[in-house]
Each structure stands twice: as structure tokens, then as C-alpha cells.
Chain A
Amino acid sequence: MATVTFDGTTRYYAGNPVPAVDGLDLEVADGEFLVLVGPSGCGKSTTLRMLAGLEGIDDGAIRIGDRDVTNLPPKDRDIAMVFQNYALYPHMTVADNIGFHLKIAKMPKAERLERVREAAELLDLTPYLDRKPAKLSGGQRQRVAMGRAIVRRPQVFCMDEPLSNLDAKLRVQTRTQIASLQRRLGVTTIYVTHDQVEAMTMGDRVAVLKDGLLQQCDTPIGLFGKPANLFVAGFIGSPAMNLIPATVEGDSARVGGRPVQLTRDQVSALTSPSVVVGVRPEGWRILSPAEGIEATVEVVEELGSDQYLYCSSPVEQIGADANQFTVRAPGMSPWQRGDKLGLAPETGAVHLFDAETGARLPD
């Protein structure tokens, strides 16, 4: 099939001096499922639309395989796109919708119908081939949109938040269907979403964007285990990582009166004495109040398998809930509102970031 390469790809919008996508360098391997994720307005959809040829490229290039497609119109790029709203033609039947691109490409009718039949079988759409989109459920429409992409047998699939219009339960089901379908077809896929859970569960690799800049591109494990900066640390993982600002004195930072040790490399990498200590909710040990950072349980969220404790503490954090610590405890634990705890990070669960640049300190 084909690789996809973004090479300093840049996109401006009229009247805005700040680029929507700024010098994106990204290499997507053949057959890889790459997810672009980030908050709204981060440039992820623009990136996808540039790849599809729906948006011009102001600087840099995009290559599919060894072909430079920067200036090719969409139809010559050998891609298929699944739109957020599915972009189904309301006046055509499911079969006509799936076969529309082939019809435009003047494929002989017999071959076209055969491909449509195949795709419909693959997606369990055979009984609905004669229906109009208005008579389909959300999930079925989503599959028709997938079918229209599949029949083109493209080198690259572009998917723009294809699950955002489905209800929560269907979204989880469809998520796995799409991922397994992609693995079966082995077609390079670029998938845009704002939902980090979707990103982490579906992607071979996940690229995190913010304000048009690529923050980090790594496997879900790499992203979760070693977030490259504060933004990724806060964005990936649910509930989010606790991020506690601290000041380094000598070779340790004090968090809630407790020392956090820094390595020599970490100390020398700092641009100022300010550091941010990150601990995921599952990275805390719960001790007695005297032994760790003081915290008071405010809300207990019981999930059965796990329990999340939202605690207040005199220690400040960065972000919206300045004084809230999130702690994971085993499910059915006896914690109650008002209980006092002491929190200490597990060994190896501490992430350190330079507070000035936001960058991760070397491990």
C-alpha cells in the first residue's frame, strides 16, 4: 500500500496570521492506523483535509508513497474520506451511495455492483441496499460511509471524527469494528478525533496536536507512559494526571512538604528552578495523613472495578481544579467523604516537567 509523509506542511486561513497547521512533520507507515487528536481548533481536521486535497497547502509538502500529492486534486490522490456527518447523498439508495465514486470514475456497471455487494456484505449492509439514508439508523449510516470509502480500494483512508454522531454505546462497538476492519484491510489510515479514549484504543500511534503544532506522536503506551510535555500529560489519560508545581532546591523538589528526588540529568536540564511534578491517579499510594501530602476526600466515584477519590488539599495544582487531587483506589474500598488521607507517589510513577518550557525532563 503506501506511506504518508507530512513534510513541514503548513496551512493558513485568510485573515489569520497564525497558521492553523504549522510546519507539521509526520511519517505514517504503510498500513498504520494513525490517530490525530487534540482539542477543537488544534488543526487536526485541517491536517486531514490537506491530505484529502480539500484544503490547499501553503508551505511544505505531503507525499503518499513516493508521490508528491501537494498539488494534486483529491481524485488523483488515491484516498478515500469518511466525513463526520457521513456526507451521504439523501436522494440515493445505500447501494448508489456506496457505488457513487465508482460511477463517477466510470467503472463498468457489473464490476461496480460486485464491489458494492462485497462491501455491503463486509459491513452487514446487504439487507439495506435499496433504502435511502433517511431510513437508516446512525450506525448504519456510518457503515454506509465506510462502505463508500472501502469500495474505492484506496491507498489511504481519511476519517474525520466518524463516530462523533453516534451515541456512547454504539461508539464503543463501532470503534472496535473500525479498528479490526482497518487491520484486516491493511490500508494506511489517518483518523481524526477529539476523544482521547478513542485515540488511545484505536491507534497504532497517536499524534497529539495543539494550536497547529505537533506535540507528540507515539504509541498509546508511549504517550501514556512518557508524555513529552505538560499538555500531553494533561490531555492523555482519564481522569487526568495530577500536576503539582514545585521548586527545586539542590537535587529535590518539595511537594506538600515531601521531597521528590531528581537525577543529575534532570537537574541540569532545568531552565529554572520551577518544575511540575505529575502523578497519575493510579500512581498514588494512600497512607495515613501524617505520612504524605494531606488530602481530604470530597467525592467518591465508585466504578465497581475501581474507585476514584476526588480530594481537596492545601497543595496547589495547575489547571482548572487547582486544589483537587484525583486518586485511584481499588473498587469497593471503604473511603467516604470527609476521610483524611496522606498521598505519596509510587516509585516510578512520577513524571517531571520543566515548568517554564513545559517539556518533560529526561528520565
Chain B
Amino acid sequence: MDDETLSDPLLEVRQLSKTYVRGRWNSSGKSRVAALENVDLTILPGSAIALVGKSGSGKSTLARCLARLEEPDSGEVWFAGKDLLRLPYGELNRMRRGIQLVFQHSASAMNPRLTAAEIVAEPLQIQNQTTRREQRAQALTMMEQVGIPRGWSERRPLEFSGGQRQRLAIARALVLKPPLLILDEALAGLDLTTQMRIANLLLELRDSLSLSYLFISHDLQMAAYLAGTIAVMQLGRIVESSTARELLSNPRHAASRQLVGSIPKALACSDGD
């Protein structure tokens, strides 16, 4: 893995915090949930980092804050030399191209009325790049790259299987050629064979497109397969961050030990070298 190469970080998160406030605009008792507390995270160009943790530990919130789908309360997100949290609206929308997110539920992440080609071309359309014809051509090329035949471009998302749809989602996320791809539980809910195929696709794409990944999962083994570094989250904090091998063999924090301990034993043995 090239995690150790000395270069400027692609993404640097400093002291990121986000608190959810529940309740309507006029309700008196509002409940507060701290989803992220002073999170620090660095992603180097061409590297892959996995973020693991139990449900509700803040993984998805972090992903959404990085893609600026949620507004963090405080902190800094440095990407390509700019603090994303302090950019004017117009520039932010251009910078967004650089960080793309793949959602867990591919079925609900795609408008069921649109065709596959329209879905993959949508980011290009929104960023208003080139002509319609060129947008479509780029979308079709990207679909082929993730293994969806050209002949399927007019199908609607619900006509695809879960695995094919997730490939489509990856194509859509990559069509703007972002340096960083965030996969938010993107393999969850797929069968093991399909998970493996898509994981290998991701590794191929990483090499061919020199991508960086932030891979969010609760599957520690898949995380270890895809990423060199694994960060463990608990209650909105990153409690441990180390190489995949070290985390699996020698987890230090209680949360990490719990995660490693919950890997089914038969698999843990075969994987433990």
C-alpha cells in the first residue's frame, strides 16, 4: 500500500463536530445528539482508508459532512488546498465534483423515472459540462468501465439487480472524475460473491483512475481487504487508527476489540495469516 508515501494530504479533516438537534422550529424541548466530536482524519492521494464502527457511531454523518450534504457545526475540511466549510456557495458547488459519495441503498439513491444513461450523466448535466451528446457518451463509457453493457443504458434502475445498480451508482459517482470517492456502506446488503466482485472493481478503478477511497463499513474484513488503514469510530469519535493488519491482530481500544471479536471465528482463523 502506498499510504506511507510522503505527499500533501488529499483531504485533511480537523476537529470536525456536528450535533443533531431534534424537534420542530417551534418546539420547546429539543433533544441534542452529538454525532461527531472533534474528528481528525487525513487521506493521502491514492490511498484507501476504511472507517468502521457500530451503527450510530457517526460514520455516515462524517461521510455526509465531507460531501457537504450535512452542515458541520465546527471544524475544518481541507481539500485540494481549500477549506470546504468556508467556501462561497458557487465555488463549493464546483469543488463538490472532487468528493463523491456512493450510498448504501442504490435503489433509493436513483430516481426510478430516469434511465441508466440519464442517471450516470446527471452529475455532468448538473455541473453543466459539455454538450448533451458528449455527456451521454461519457456516461456510457463510464458505465462500460464499471461493467454495465452499453445495451442496458435505457433500462430503469429498478430493472437492475442490486449489484448492477451499485455498479451504476459507482459509475455515476466517478463520471465527474473525482479524486476522492466515499463509499457509505456501499457493499452492505449484497451477497458475498457480488460484494467481492465490486470490491475488486473498486481496487481496479483505484489503480486505473488513481482514486482515493474512504470506505465506510461495519464489515471489518472487507474493510481490511480494501483499505490499508482502518479508523474505528465510537460515539462520534475516532478512537483508534492503524494499519489493517495491526488492527486485526492487535486491537488496542475496547471498541476495536469488540469489533474484531465479533468476526466469525472460522473466518478469523483463515484470515489471521
Q: Are chains A and B native binding partners rather than an unrelated pairing?
A: no
Q: Which residues of A contact B (CB under 8 A)?
A: none
